[in-house]
Amino acid sequence: MVGHSLTVITLQAGVALHLLERSGADAGPPADLAASLEAIRSTSKDALAELRTTLGVFATERVRDDPGLGPEEVRAPRLGLARLGQLVGALRSAGRAVEVRTGAWSSPEPLPAAVDQAAFRIIQEALTNVVRHAGPATATVTLERSEDALRIAVTNDGPPPAGWEEGHGIRGMRERAAAVGGTLEVRPADPGGLAVHAVLPLVRVPV
């Protein structure tokens, strides 16, 4: 989440600088500039708060490894699909069009924690890739839950990718899917952009 937040900060800073140049020295700051700067401030605060949470997790591990450090237990909020709205909202505040669609959803029961976190991280990385590589494309996130799997699709309507290669981001998504027994496929979409499809099983098959 910290990496995504910093990406949004960069986007908002670019918008602010562009508006400042366009406004001219004597015209005064336009309302859009103030909104962009406010978004930068808000996103920066979120990034710093999450960094503190991450450091808290490391502190917790030290307490568990060495009980002599003290009985305190630092609890960090889990990153799962409950935070998808926050993730999408940050992108929209940066001027990105993101649509979220929920298809079939077989059960009101919570997702397994590992699947919930893997799903969020995959969507986060896929959307970050849209921001970095797809220009002003519109991104669509589709979620469907069956009895045995959670299916995720992240697509965009950007220009057809030319000579794209599987980098760290895609490998990271694939590893997250594999960690919960799932699969992930990335391929050029029709008519343009990249499509990320992940299937995360909800039931472990006995070996």
Output the pLDDT for position 199: 97
Output the pLDDT for position 11: 67
Q: Is the pLDDT of residue 206 over 60?
A: no
Asked if 202 and 147 touch (Cβ cutoff 8 Å), the reply is yes
Q: Is the pLDDT of residue 98 over 50?
A: yes
Output the pLDDT for position 78: 63
Q: How confident is the model at residue 50 (pLDDT cuts 50, 70, 90)?
A: low
Gap between the Cα atoms of 187 and 174, Å rounded: 13
Gap between the Cα atoms of 129 and 112, Å rounded: 26
Which whole number is the average pLDDT over 11-25? 63
Q: Is the pLDDT of residue 178 over 90?
A: yes
Gap between the Cα atoms of 120 and 117, Å rounded: 5
Q: What is the mean pLDDT of the chain?
A: 77
Output the pLDDT for position 105: 84
Q: Are strands 183-188 and 194-201 parallel, antiparallel or unpaired?
A: antiparallel
| Percent of the residues in the chain that have a pLDDT greater than 90, as a whole number | 33
Which whole number is the average pLDDT over 139-153? 95
Q: How confident is the model at residue 61 (pLDDT cuts 50, 70, 90)?
A: very low
